[in-house]
A = this chain, B = another copy of it.
Amino acid sequence: MTQRVNWWRWGDPAHRFEPPPDFLTCLFERLGVAPRPKAPEPAPPRLPDRTPVLDGLPHETDDAHRLAHAGGRSYLDLVRLRRGSLEHAPDAVLYPATAEEVGEILRRADCAVVPFGGGTSVVGGVAPARGSHRGVATLDLTRLSRLLEVDRESLLARVECGIMGPALESELARHGLTLGHFPQSFEYSTLGGWIATRSAGQASGRYGRIEDMVAGLRAITPAGEIVTRAVPASASGPEVRELLVGSEGTLGVIVEATLRVHPIPESRAFASYLFPSFEAGLRAIRRMAQEGPAPAIVRLSDVVETEAAMKLADADRSFGLKLLRFLGRSPGAHLMLGFEGGDGKHARVIARREGGFGVGAGPGERWDRERFRHPYLRDALLDYGLLVETLETATSWSNVPRLYTAVRGALSGLILCHVSHVYSDGASLYFTVIADAPRGEEEERWTRMKEAACDALVSNGGTISHHHGVGADHRAWLVSERGELAVKALRAMKGVLDPRGILNPGKLHS
């Protein structure tokens, strides 16, 4: 029975990412905070008594199971877990092994049911809310993890959706294939979670977003099953698949998907450039996206993020940076490009023509080795009483500067930003905030900033989320972005699929 052992921080309990002392000192200085000692590790809290909610369905009610499903991995989740405030732990955890068992649970459960993949939501997407029900059970889907079928000729793979990222890629690799979906949460998130949240992976420039990868899917709802036919394209009416992708466990449980896969690329390569400004870098990556082919990975940091990343990498000692400083230039904005199966010649030419100063493959290769360690760093900073959280959006190219300025204006502390997904018509913006958050004030500080930032997003032409999803945390802004009528129409559809309203209350439109 799958369980996440690290109940209060990210991932593998054996892993830590301690920030270098210099970095920490610098951070405290920048935030104007007196250095403080590291907090002690929390002891597992005693959970509130459970309501018996499931009758005749196999389930677990031990504290370990409930604690492992008590929340996602947002800053507020982590703060609450550390503090032991667990009024919202699920009453029970179910571990179905087949789609049929999922169907039986959804038909028979007389309580709220929260579908749960890897539990890495950073928007409250797996918070065990009861809604109007007498109890809440979490539906852990990680036992549905088989690769069912590979169609090498059509480059399609049918897979059960509880499979985690590394298992999926290693199963596909046995056939020489890859899905190419590498979100930051890759190591601890599931295919079903990626689909339910409309996620995007770091190599989206080549492989697209999850909705581009899903040819067909199978979802179990309390009212029955929906299977969308895996065809390359169709004009048979509104696309039902697109209703389920992004449905965040509120309409049904996505149990199977037929995925568009790719031969593993023969080569991978990285290249980095320093631009005099974020704006200059934006011009370059816009041209790459519009002229194509776009690099698989495009990651342009603003000046603040570039400096912070260099400090973290101890890059002050590097020859390139010393040279830049000697020439009287600031490092500016760092652009990292990753190429898969091509030499990226056109993108490299654009980078140089738009004023990029090539700094080689080193930074990209280092990022590639360490990319899944970053969430551990956040826990380490939380240990020192710092608030660390991210938010993300997307907008058209012409609107990027306005949105960037508006969101920065709504936040406070150290604000880092990068673009990590590019499209012909626009780009994502990913903000990281590091701020002081004295014990007891964490929730209020972040909630206030988050509200201001979300207001800024929706009133400045951004979307409330580019790839994190809506969950509980973005619900309040959904109507501003969508309009009341669209939300009403989606709710009517939910009424058909989930007439008792048991699926994931308090998330999305639920």
Contacts and interface: CB of A to CB of B under 8 A. Distances in A.
Nearest to A209: B233
A424 B260 contact: yes
A227 B461 CA distance: 13
Contacts of A221: 485
B235 A470 contact: yes
Copies of this chain, tallied across the complex: 2
Interface residues of A, number: 85
A209 B234 CA distance: 10
Interface in A191-205: 197-200
Nearest to A263: B290
Nearest to A260: B425
A248 interface: yes
A93 to B, nearest CB: 26
Contacts of A493: 489-490, 492-493
A173 to B, nearest CB: 18
A289 to B, nearest CB: 9
Interface stretch (A295-303, A365-373, A390-398): A390-398
A199 B227 CA distance: 23
A181 interface: no
A246 interface: yes
B154 A425 contact: yes
Contacts of A467: 233, 235
A229 B397 contact: no
A33 interface: no
Interface in A246-266: 246-248, 251, 260, 262
Given A225-B483, A225-B485, A231-B396, A156 B425 contact: yes
A262 B290 CA distance: 8
A245 B155 CA distance: 26
B236 A239 contact: no
A238 B233 contact: no
B156 A396 contact: yes
Interface in A448-485: 461-470, 474, 478, 481-485
Interface of A: 151, 153-156, 197-200, 209, 211, 215, 221, 223-240, 242-248, 251, 260, 262, 286, 290, 293, 394-399, 421, 423-428, 461-470, 474, 478, 481-486, 488-490, 492-493, 495-497, 508-509
Given A229-B461, A237-B509, A238-B251, 13 more contacts: A155-B397, A215-B396, A223-B485, A226-B485, A231-B394, A231-B462, A232-B426, A233-B426, A235-B463, A236-B469, A237-B478, A237-B490, A488-B496
9 contacts: A199-B235, A227-B483, A230-B396, A231-B395, A232-B424, A233-B421, A237-B478, A237-B509, A238-B251
